[in-house]
């Protein structure tokens, strides 16, 4: 079994953002030389996640609206008693999830026809990272 580990760094200009990382992941899979295996993509910060879905602006707006309904910004979360103001970002990360495991087949990410992989930021404007670990033969 072979492996490749890389770290992607993000500093978004806004508090929330979606960054399409599909092309970067495909380049890492190619560089790994792995033909059959898995690509783990994991946000290494508690207010960011990984989202696999369609690269379509209307869907993004629907995602943000849904997350805002379920975990609205500005609420008086218990977490704010620690001096933080990002309780909603922690909950949004929980809803989206922090990682995805993607199949690698014949040396390429094996995604559905419309699937793209996004770094989802819920409390940006500071440096955060994602670990990409590709395992296989």
Q: Does the 2-136 domain belong in CATH 2.30.40.10? A: no
pLDDT band at residue 106, thresholds of 50, 70 and 90? very high
Mention every residue, 6+ apart, whose C-beta is less than 8 A from residue 36: 104, 105, 106, 136, 137
Identify the pLDDT of residue 57: 96
What residue spans define the domains of the chain? Answer: 2-136
Q: Is the pTM of this model over 0.75?
A: yes
| Predicted pLDDT of residue 43 | 98
Residues in contact with 38: Cβ distance below 8 Å, sequence separation at least 6, in sequence order: 101, 102, 103, 104, 134, 135, 136
Q: How far is CA 26 from CA 34, 92, 105, in A?
A: 11, 27, 12
Taking the CB of residue 126, how many other CB atoms lie within 10 A of it?
11
**Tens digits of per-residue pLDDT, 24-83?**
999 999 999 999 999 999 999 999 999 999 999 999 999 999 999 999 998 899 999 999
């Amino acid at each position: 079994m072979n492996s490749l580990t890389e770290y992607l760094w993000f500093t978004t200009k806004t508090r929330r953002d979606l960054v399409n990382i599909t092309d970067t992941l495909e380049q890492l899979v190619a560089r790994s030389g792995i033909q059959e295996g898995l690509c783990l993509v994991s946000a290494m910060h508690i207010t960011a996640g990984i989202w696999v879905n369609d690269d379509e602006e209307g869907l993004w707006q629907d995602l943000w609206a849904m997350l805002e309904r379920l975990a609205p910004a500005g609420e008086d979360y218990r977490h704010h008693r620690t001096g933080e103001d990002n309780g909603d970002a922690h909950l949004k990360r929980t809803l989206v999830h922090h990682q995805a495991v993607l199949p690698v087949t014949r040396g390429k990410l094996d995604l559905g026809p419309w699937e793209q992989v996004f770094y989802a930021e819920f409390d940006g404007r500071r440096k955060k990272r994602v670990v990409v670990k590709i395992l296989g033969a």
